[in-house]
Amino acid sequence: MEGDCGIIPGFYFRPSDEDLMMVYLLNKVFQKPFPPYMIEEYDVYSTEPWNLPSKTRYSQDGKSYYFTRAKKSSPRSTRLLRQAGDGCWHMNGTNKKIHDRNGVHVGSTTALTYLHGSNKKKTRWVMHEYRVDQSFYRNSDPQVIH
């Protein structure tokens, strides 16, 4: 399986928060090259989490990674829509800042839990959302990685 994409047999994808931000998300946002095959584009807000495609063949712990574009509640709002299928993703806590090797703040991550149905029943599905700090780009829609 690994040989299909030129991946070394025995390789597992276990990126740190800094790797996800510096190697993948920032390069994606600025349309620069980054390692292929590890993270696919998919609208994670289009369906319930159990219906997401699971391309976990390089992830030893069963995690899936996606690029998705954040959706704002209105054009001028900073608030993001997190509805997905018959439920929504709810923030669990605070934002965790991510810094590069030199200590420069490059973005943040937030843990979200999926609440299902009209009664918003808490599920065991957890998503980690990564965002580039606004100081890195101007007049652009934020890119998010989950």
- Domain CATH number, residue 105: 2.170.150.80
Number of structural domains the chain divides into = 1
Q: What is the pLDDT of residues 73-127, one digit of tens each?
A: 888 887 888 889 999 999 987 889 999 888 888 899 999 999 999 899 999 999 9
If you average pLDDT over every residue of the chain, what do you get? 81
pTM of the model: 0.78
Average pLDDT over residues 44-62: 77
Burial call 123-139: b when 16+ CB within 10 Å, e when fewer: eebebbbbbbbeeeeee
How many other C-beta atoms can be found within 10 angstroms of the C-beta atom of residue 109?
Answer: 17
State which residues form the domain around 50.
Answer: 2-145
CA dihedral 15, 38, 57, 41 (to 10 degrees): 120
Q: What share of the chain is helix, strand, coil (3-state, %, to 5)?
A: 20, 35, 50
Mean pLDDT of 13-27: 86
In which residue are the tokens 């018959």 written?
A: 86
